Structure 1
């Protein structure tokens, strides 16, 4: 496994650590209660079982969970030591949070794509095309592609070769995961087209094209969240 792959696995595991902790709280699990098994958690959060294992290890080290061999995984504490440094899990209105994250992404990601068009290596571009293909194949098979979507946006950020941007990757990852969770994969066609447009522009060193394509991608995302928020508001009336 490459160093970048190890970093990505760690970042995703940290995201799922937060998701599992939120699940414990929202499901009102008590100390001593047993969590669903590894396979069920992987299905629930749309990630691989290896990511679930890493997330559970993190929660073990935080003193939240205990893995009992041959029995299962149990809640032993509900007070986290160091989860969710941005404090996003405390926000109840996930739709509003998704919108705020979408607004932040519009500010950040088009500029990041522009930098990637200047700085990406041929290996970076090859990897981005590979991720496009993986996402397209999973969409065609109606499989969960959240990890690959996160990988795509993370790799665009990585390709910018900007040290500060790399520190923002966890925020980008959180935003992608929040968007997919809220929208339930409703923009599959637009995702395919705009991802390809972004990578094509990066490949051609077209900075304006990369920035514009990413802005279009972010705008599609934001408009869908806005539409879903309106529907949710109407249901409550």
Structure 2
């Protein structure tokens, strides 16, 4: 396996973490402006911006547009995906319950024609694979249907959180349904209703239907 070389941005990020750990930059303190950081670390603007982005994602820095970049933690927060890997499936399902309705409602308000084509494509594949009892393909089509709705909602953060959750939802399908697609055939109509409510721009109806799907009220 080839050893991956660190980028300049990764090296700067590590040096910033070291500085934060050594209290060169304390929690609540504002980092020097970009031009100063470029001089301190001897790199270009793009490397500084990427390093700050890396540490923002890790929860160490907080970028406030027009104000500056602030230190908010000494240690990288455990990633969402790592936390979900350790979570019970009931906890993941609860996260989905909180997200699905909101995402569906926002998708009804923000979707475009390309979004609708994508959602419909996976809805049709879900039907096809369920009828053919192709379980793996059916489960993935269901996941892709809901991901397409998340893509249409217009909120990138919601979409990314949902994307992490779906990996665990797919695992739960495999455990609960034992390579069977009967319940997917039964729930196809309500999934079609969800698509139609999004197509019609009916956010309230999309919200209610999405919640019924999560609660398995068919």
The TM-score bracket by the shorter chain reads 0.5 to 0.7
In the alignment, is residue 86 of structure 1 matched against residue 82 of structure 2?
yes
Corresponding residue pairs, total: 136
Q: 8 Å contact 1:132–1:152 — kept in the other structure?
A: yes
Distance in 2, matches of 1:206 and 1:84, equals 31
Q: Which consecutive residues of structure 1, in runs of 5 or more, have no partner in the other structure?
A: 1-82, 92-96, 224-237
Aligned-residue offset at 1:186: 5.2
Q: 8 Å contact 1:117–1:203 — kept in the other structure?
A: yes
Aligned-residue offset at 1:217: 0.3
Q: Which protein has the larger Cα radius of gyration, Structure 1 or Structure 2?
A: 2
**Cα displacement string for residues 134-191 of structure 1 (whole angstroms, at most 9, x for unaligned residues):** 1101000000212212211111100001121122133232242133122214521343
Match of residue 180, structure 1, among 173, 177, 189: 173
Equivalences for residues 101-112 of structure 1 within 5 A: 101-112=92-103
In the alignment, is residue 122 of structure 1 matched against residue 118 of structure 2?
no
Q: 8 Å contact 1:190–1:220 — kept in the other structure?
A: no
Q: 8 Å contact 1:149–1:176 — kept in the other structure?
A: no
CA RMSD, 1 decimal: 2.5
Distance in 2, matches of 1:112 and 1:103, equals 14
Match of residue 149, structure 1, among 142, 151, 155: 142
SS at match of 2:82: coil
Distance in 2, matches of 1:89 and 1:168, equals 13
In the alignment, is residue 163 of structure 1 matched against residue 159 of structure 2?
no
Q: 8 Å contact 1:157–1:169 — kept in the other structure?
A: yes
Q: Structure 1 residues 166 and 140, CA, compared in 2 at 3 Å: closer, same or farther?
A: same
Q: Which consecutive residues of structure 2, in runs of 5 or more, have no partner in the other structure?
A: 1-78
Distance in 2, matches of 1:134 and 1:220, equals 20
